[in-house]
Amino acid sequence: MIEVLITMFILVLGLLGVVGLQARAQQAETESYQRSQALILLRDMADRMNANRANIASYVTGTSTPLGTGDSNTGCATPATPVAADKCAWSIALLGAAETTGACNTATGANCVGAMIGARGCVTELDATAKIYLVEVVWQGLAPTAAPPASVVCGKDLYGAEELRRAVTTVVQIGDLGT
């Protein structure tokens, strides 16, 4: 009888370990999916900027007014310029409008589930003369890890602990073909 109890105890410990491993694997899979989504959205904005080189300076949002918030979508119904349309489309994509659980409300983000948790996007100008711009996508991770570098300021202090903030960045540089 004691052997059966010891065997059951060992079996229960093993099963608890498997459950913990499965939960951690699910969390890692979600983090990986969010990073993939962020990279897709990052590349999308970089491509939009590259396609509209003449107006690239108009894409700058700064870090204090990131895209991906409902209030950044004002004027989306009838964008005045191609840049406004691009910024509006990117903001709505950051909210998660690509996938919904009902009618996606782009003003609040309600029922929009196709993007990362609390996604925000920023475009900053690094060098106006050389036409170098930094595109950033940030979001909230599920578990604390290392904080992004100090040079990534988009979404800073937005997600509580900086160890929860995830970020991907890319530099867009437009060559001067006029000379």
In a domain, 179, yes or no: no
Residue span of the structural domain in which 18 resides? 2-173
In a domain, 94, yes or no: yes
pLDDT at 36 over 60: yes
Total domains present in the chain: 1
In a domain, 153, yes or no: yes
Give me 25's structure tokens.
């694997």
pLDDT at position 71: 67
pLDDT at 176 over 80: no
In a domain, 91, yes or no: yes
pLDDT at position 162: 92
Instruction: Name residues whose C-beta falls within 8 Å of residue 85's C-beta, 6 or more positions apart in sequence.
Output: 79
Q: Which residue has the tokens 């060992």?
A: 10
Strand intervals (E) in 110-174: 120-127, 132-140, 165-173
Give me 127's structure tokens.
């060098």
In a domain, 142, yes or no: yes
Cβ burial, residue 78 (10 Å; 0-12/13-18/19+): exposed
Q: Which pTM value belongs to this model?
A: 0.82
43-99: pLDDT as tens digits: 999 999 999 999 999 999 988 888 887 666 666 777 788 999 999 889 888 988 777
pLDDT at position 7: 94
In a domain, 178, yes or no: no
CA atoms within 13 A on the CB side of 167: 24
60: phi > 0 → left, psi -120 to 50 → alpha, else beta; which?
A: beta
In a domain, 99, yes or no: yes
In a domain, 19, yes or no: yes
139-172: pLDDT as tens digits: 999 889 889 999 999 989 888 889 999 999 999 9
Backbone angles phi, psi at 44, to 5 degrees: -60, -50
pLDDT at 34 over 80: yes
pLDDT at position 67: 87
pLDDT at 118 over 60: yes
pLDDT at 179 over 70: no
Count the Cβ atoms, other than its own, within 10 Å of residue 160. 10
Sequential DSSP letters for 63-108: SSS-BSSGGGGTT-SS-SSHHHHHHHHHHHHHHTTTSBSSS--TTT
More reliable by pLDDT, 111 or 42: 42
